[in-house]
Amino acid sequence: MRDILTNHLLSVVIFVPLIGAIIIALLPLRNKDNGELDSSGATVVKAVAMIFAVLDFLLSLLLIPAFQSGKAGFQLQEGPYLWISRFNVHYHLGIDGISLLLILLTTFLCLLSVIYSFNIKTRLKEYMVFIMILETAMLGVFCALDLVLFYVFWESVLIPMYFLIGIWGHERRIYAAIKFFLYTFAGSVLMLLGIVFLYVHTHTFNLIELTDPRFMPYHLLMGLPARTLLYLYSAFALAFMIKVPMFPFHTWLPDAHVEAPTAGSVILAGVMLKMGVYGFLRFCIPLFPEQARNSAPLFITLAIIGIIYGAIVAAVQPDMKKLVAYSSVSHLGFVMLGIFSFTTIGMTGAVLQSVNHGVSTGMLFFMVGMMYDRKHTREIKAYGGLKRSVPILAAFFMIALFSSIGLPLTNGFIGEFTIMLGSYLSPFAGINVTALACTGIILSAIYMLWLFQRVFTGPLDKEENKKLHDLNWREKWVLAPLVVMIFWFGCYVTTWTNFLHTPVNTIMRSSGMSEASNSISQRVAKLP
Amino acid sequence: MSLVWLIPGLPLIGFLFHAFLGKSIVKSMGDANGKKTIGAIATGLVFASLLISVMVFMDLMKLAPADQRQYVSLLPGGSRIPWISIGSLHVYYMGIIDPLSLLMCFIVTGVGGVIHLYATGYMADDKDYPRFFTYFNLFIFFMLMLVLSENILLMFVGWEGVGLCSYLLISFWFEDVENSKAGNKAFIVNRIGDLGFSIGVMTIFAVFGTLSFYTPQGTGFLDMAAKGITPHGMLSVGAATLIALLLFMGACGKSAQFPLYVWLPDAMAGPTPVSALIHAATMVTAGVVMITRVSPLIVHSPIAMMVIACVGVFTAFYAATIAMTQNDIKKVLAYSTVSQLGYMFLGCGVGAFAAGMFHVTTHAFFKGLLFLGAGSVIHAMSGEQDMRKMGGLKDRIPVTFWTMVCAWLAISGIPPFAGFWSKDEILGSATGFPQYGMALYAVGLFTALMTAFYMTRLMMKTFWTKPRYKDEELGAHSSHGSDDSHSHDAKHHGVHESPPSMLISLVILAILSVIGGLVGIPGHNLFDKFLAPSVAPYPLKDGMPVPIGMLLGTAFGAVGIAVCVVMYNRRQETGDLLSPKEKASNALYKGSLNLWYVDSAYYKLFVTEGGKVAEFIWQGIDRALIDGIVNFVAGLLGFLSELFRRFQTGYIRAYAFVMLAGVVAVVISVLWPFLRHLHI
């Protein structure tokens, strides 16, 4: 037992939810004709799901003491164990600080999603099974060091999410589910081609061998013609861009978000989008540093467009969930700006903002879901003056809102400020680009405060709104941990940045940018 | 010194206490007792902060002026925990104790405490009493963070935090959606300024590599700026100008300078104690405090100083023109605040930072008092804010009247009241400014006349002219939305003086408005001497001789008052200078009354037209174009697959044929390189 926990902790963290899924699936419980379980059956399903979600969260916490933040390279490695010998595919896991943060985010949000989803009535058993499978797949993505293994996890994320949207979604769920599946799948197929091509030329799927100059495959890869590398880079980048999503590949996101059940939206925004971000940091930049550097102006442009465009479109949405969805486009624009600033501060900020976005947007989606549970509509117009009838909900919403628009001492500020500082210092951006990004912060205040005004303030004039009940204990238990995270990140971010110094420096070094960024302050100092 | 963390700490404790326990206290102790307890705790904590500030002041004054900059932790037990530590960016929860930060601590906790006391009476009937003091204490906390911080990023925390509290308190009576909109406007316009502030902070980091103002080792960016250096060589004028202008943009937002002043008059939608504390005495002066804090950097840029002085004096004049015609008593005071803030920036712009801070101080006394007095008037009139429906209150509410007289003379620049000394010092310094000093002075002096005029107008309309209301009608209608949920009419009928808690506050501030300026008498300027360790010295030319300046200033103020008194005495009955006909034809009057159409132009441009553009981007670009392409591609693929499905006929013969064709194609393609050379 101890041996498994020390030597195979990652596998344990990844597959515990899957075991939970299997157990839930094997429970001898049948849905009644209306698709619901009887109450004792539902309790059992909830209990099992809860046990495994909590267990996995606790196990993921064990990663923290096991992890050495100062150490370079991948830690807690497992394998490589040969998996498919014909093609030299291995089962190979390992994490760095970036993965660690995203793993913790995943187990944290999945746990909250499970608690939140206790109110699911129809086909609860299947629902929990899909959530647990989804958790395993997402955790796998953040741990895999073998390209094929990564791809397998990457694609298997799609399937449970497809069913979550398609079965438990809202009115246009089928359209949204298919669009989500095909759109992201189309991107990933190109990436698969890229992976195969890499293998043909380097005979390995091992990420470490491909990115470390001490190994042959690295030199084989670098020896490829520039044009070939550019095509390969584009294949990877496109898959990740769609996942993030970057403008103009974002239109699947609002549809999927709006139609997905609440927990689905939370996981989608909180974790799945970060898979795209992670893809850039883990694969695109280390595998193709030169191409990534050269494409920085393009990506920064798209990121800036995304920031402003997402915010403007969010402002005019009549549907709360869509508003939050478009705000994600804007926030992820910041993340991409941070990555492609190619500065230490900017990249650290990008990772922080990924987690922050998961926390604050996740919280917003939870709260929109809570309001939907009460009134069965997402139309902003149907609300008004709710601060009087549900003051605690309003207070929580306000915290999420101010975290989302980056008020200092909340997590959002740390992310946005460090990203913009990185962009300011970046050789690819500078003061003007940063000023443009900063307008996104003004716009975010506009759409969020306007939303709050229309939903929570004004006269409580609609009869049905007067009788809404305030948050219950289950809901408070979902939101309170998120509030703690908001202020933890906001007031003492050092806890988390300690994990990020080494991996960010590694990425910076592999992209060949570290010296350049040091000389920037001199460049700026030579202002007229 | 080791107690410094308690200065912001106590209000923070108050905030947490009220936020988590406020409601249950009211519930368990009963309405009246519960409110008393909450009010006492909130007010007591702020005064406790004042007490600690005084103790720290005593300690600091024992030191030589050169040592009057102490570095302290803002965390309990003096711990030095980093807030952010990434790459070369390190920010700690540290504070600076020097004359500037202590002066602001006095103003914030002293005037703040008095206004807290006032609010315990003013808000007594409000059902959201605990929520009010929750926000009020939080405001004090953030304001103290702003003034105490050791680095500009931590200052930005306070800066945004007070903005948050301002937003929360403007929209305190949220059931009226107009209040909520006013709160949004305040927050959003401030964010525009904050764009400048945050880019300015980044520029400071890029140029100096640090965000600390000062450090014990002399590596803070102001340490460097004072020596005119950066880590990479000399500090260029361009860099200094860029930073100064960006930071000033932030100051324009927070301190309501042209063209970002539009939020402040609307902010009067909040309860009157909020207007007095946040939108007159403390928060809106944060811009002046910040510019004074970074004065060693500002003085490197003559262009930035000129811009600050010009924007300041223009705003002073411009806001005064609007204040001349407003009818809402709080709106007059709001534009007056904008105008007075303009004076403060004029002082900073001409290099007289201490004079600017002096005006911050006296303004906190008399403008706080004016707002509290206005609140008392509104209270007496059962919620009426329109001066056209007031008049003759002089004998009905004597304490309010006499305290208001002190404030009125102070703002009008009549010696020896507080406002006279500070305004005079600013104007006098302007005459010594090398670039266009006399022009700045002339505009400032004329604005002083206008100030005296519109303030006298306010006094005439409310206190001296004949009453234009009937006692029994008061409170029958609620004329202004802001006082919807704040109704005293249940208890009182007719004009009535305010409760003691409010009157005590008025008297305290009145005393300060009378004698507060005596610390800054030319020749014996204790104030400037006290502040000297915190501000950059700036050599001014010899301007106008002091006695002449004082004489002119007094004369202009007196003329303004006299003209107004004479004019209104002729119209005692109506209390209106212009007849309705004259009002309709007078373009200047209409322009001023309609705020020179700036607000409506902003609304049209940014809300109406901006909304249309956003709608177009969503519907036209996002849905039709981008998503249209996506769905088109998907549809095309669907169509093609439909087409290909036809081939799947299910007949073995057909499959066999296709397979054969395929094999032939593959063979040909494999053999193609050879076939090509056959030259058939």
CA A442-A446-A449 angle, 5° bins = 125
- Report the number of secondary-structure helices (H) and strands (E) in chain A: 28, 2
Burial class (CB in 10 A: 0-12, 13-18, 19+), B631: middle
B666 Cβ under 8 Å from any chain A Cβ:
no
SS3 B210: coil
The answer to whether residues A105 and A274 touch, using CB atoms and an 8 Å cutoff, is yes
The tokens describing A256, both together, are 């999927």
Residues from chain A that touch B626, judged by Cβ atoms under 8 A, are 248, 250-251
Q: How confident is the model over A249-253, as a mean pLDDT?
A: 90
Closest CA to B312 of B415, B162, B447, B420: B447
- Whether pLDDT at B211 is above 90: yes
| Residue A144 bridge partners (DSSP) | A93
Task: Identify which has the larger pLDDT, B663 or B360.
Answer: B360
Residue from A398, A438, A513, A520 to probe the interface with B (highest B Cβ count within 10 Å): A438
pLDDT reported for residue B669: 65
Report the alpha-carbon distance of residue A314 to residue A243 in Å, rounded: 19
Report the alpha-carbon distance of residue B330 to residue B37 in Å, rounded: 30
Task: Identify which has the larger pLDDT, A322 or B465.
Answer: A322
pLDDT reported for residue B484: 39
Residue A435: which of B180, B187, B195 has the nearest Cβ?
A: B195
pLDDT reported for residue B98: 92
Q: Are β-strands B82-86 and B89-92 bridged in parallel, bridged antiparallel, or unpaired?
A: antiparallel
pLDDT reported for residue B489: 41
pLDDT reported for residue A38: 84
Q: Which residues contact B18 (CB under 8 A, 6 or more apart)?
A: B38, B41, B42, B130, B131, B133, B134, B137
pLDDT reported for residue B649: 63
The tokens describing A149, both together, are 């293994």
Q: How far is A527 from chain B (nearest CA, A)?
A: 6
Q: How confident is the model at residue B652 (pLDDT cuts 50, 70, 90)?
A: low
Residues from chain A that touch B175, judged by Cβ atoms under 8 A, are 385, 388, 457-460
pLDDT per residue over B69-79, tens digit each? 999 989 888 78
SS3 A92: strand
Q: Please state, in angstroms and as integers, the Cα–Cα distance from residue A135 to each residue in A131, B427, B512, following that order.
A: 6, 68, 65
Residue with tokens 């195979």: A8
Q: Are β-strands B70-73 and B82-86 bridged in parallel, bridged antiparallel, or unpaired?
A: unpaired
- Whether pLDDT at A370 is above 80: yes
Residues from chain A that touch B207, judged by Cβ atoms under 8 A, are 521, 524-525, 527
The alpha carbon dihedral of B476, B480, B481, B486 has a sign of negative
Query: If you count them, how many residues does chain A have?
Result: 528
Output DSSP code: residue B480.
S
* Mean pLDDT over the full length of chain B: 88
pLDDT reported for residue B678: 59
Closest CA to B284 of B292, B272, B276: B276
* Residues in B 196-225 with any Cβ partner in A closer than 8 A: 198-199, 202-203, 205-207, 209
Residue B238: which of A439, A446, A527 has the nearest Cβ?
A: A527
* Mean pLDDT over the full length of chain A: 90
- Nearest residue in chain A measured CA to CA from B612: A316
Interchain pair A312, B617: CB under 8 A: yes
Q: How confident is the model over A183-191, as a mean pLDDT?
A: 87
Q: How confident is the model at residue B585 (pLDDT cuts 50, 70, 90)?
A: confident
- Whether pLDDT at A520 is above 70: no
Q: How confident is the model at residue B674 (pLDDT cuts 50, 70, 90)?
A: low
pLDDT reported for residue A423: 93
Residue from B15, B74, B79, B84 to probe the interface with A (highest A Cβ count within 10 Å): B84
pLDDT reported for residue B594: 84
Q: Which residues contact B339 (CB under 8 A, 6 or more apart)?
A: B315, B316, B317, B318, B319, B320, B323, B447, B451
Closest CA to B464 of B387, B557, B378: B387
The answer to whether residues B213 and A497 touch, using CB atoms and an 8 Å cutoff, is no
Q: How confident is the model over A197-222, as a mean pLDDT?
A: 89
A505 Cβ under 8 Å from any chain B Cβ:
no
* Residues in B 127-186 with any Cβ partner in A closer than 8 A: 153, 156-157, 160-161, 164, 167, 171, 174-177, 179-181, 183-184
pLDDT reported for residue B647: 64
pLDDT reported for residue A47: 93
Residue with tokens 């800054």: B520
pLDDT reported for residue B670: 64
pLDDT per residue over B394-439, tens digit each? 888 899 999 999 999 999 999 889 999 999 999 999 999 988 989 9
Residues from chain A that touch B86, judged by Cβ atoms under 8 A, are 344-345, 348-349, 418, 497, 500-501
The tokens describing B547, both together, are 């006695």
For residues B191, B196, B201, B206, the Cα torsion angle rounded to the nearest 10 degrees is 140
pLDDT reported for residue B485: 40
Closest CA to A383 of A462, A292, A277, A490: A462
Mean pLDDT is lowest, of A211-220, B470-479, B482-491, B632-641, for B482-491
Q: How confident is the model at residue A133 (pLDDT cuts 50, 70, 90)?
A: very high
pLDDT reported for residue B488: 44
Q: Residue B75: which region, alpha, beta or left (left: phi > 0; alpha: psi -120 to 50)?
A: beta
- Whether pLDDT at A522 is above 70: no
Closest CA to A350 of A401, A258, A443, A278: A278
Q: How confident is the model at residue B543 (pLDDT cuts 50, 70, 90)?
A: confident
Interchain pair A526, B236: CB under 8 A: yes
pLDDT reported for residue B27: 86
pLDDT per residue over A427-478, tens digit each? 888 899 999 999 999 999 999 999 999 999 988 888 888 888 888 899 999 9
Phi, psi angle pair for B477, to nearest 5°: -125, 150
pLDDT per residue over B99-136, tens digit each? 999 999 999 999 999 999 999 988 888 888 999 999 99
CA B106 to centroid of chain Cα atoms: 18
Interchain pair A458, B174: CB under 8 A: yes
SS3 B151: strand
**CA gyration radius, chain B:** 31
A376 Cβ under 8 Å from any chain B Cβ:
no
The answer to whether residues A314 and A250 touch, using CB atoms and an 8 Å cutoff, is no
User: What are the domain boundaries of chain B?
Assistant: 1-150, 594-644, 647-680
pLDDT reported for residue B487: 44
The answer to whether residues B607 and B181 touch, using CB atoms and an 8 Å cutoff, is no
pLDDT per residue over A150-162, tens digit each? 999 999 999 899 9
Report the alpha-carbon distance of residue B2 to residue A235 in Å, rounded: 60
pLDDT per residue over B548-574, tens digit each? 999 999 999 999 999 999 988 888 877
Report the alpha-carbon distance of residue B391 to residue B389 in Å, rounded: 7
Interchain pair B230, A525: CB under 8 A: yes
* % chain B with pLDDT above 90: 56
Residue from A444, A521, A522 to probe the interface with B (highest B Cβ count within 10 Å): A521
Residues from chain A that touch B615, judged by Cβ atoms under 8 A, are 316
The tokens describing B569, both together, are 């005495």
- Whether pLDDT at B181 is above 50: yes
* Residues in A 194-253 with any Cβ partner in B closer than 8 A: 248, 250-252
Q: How confident is the model at residue B483 (pLDDT cuts 50, 70, 90)?
A: very low
Q: How confident is the model at residue B635 (pLDDT cuts 50, 70, 90)?
A: confident
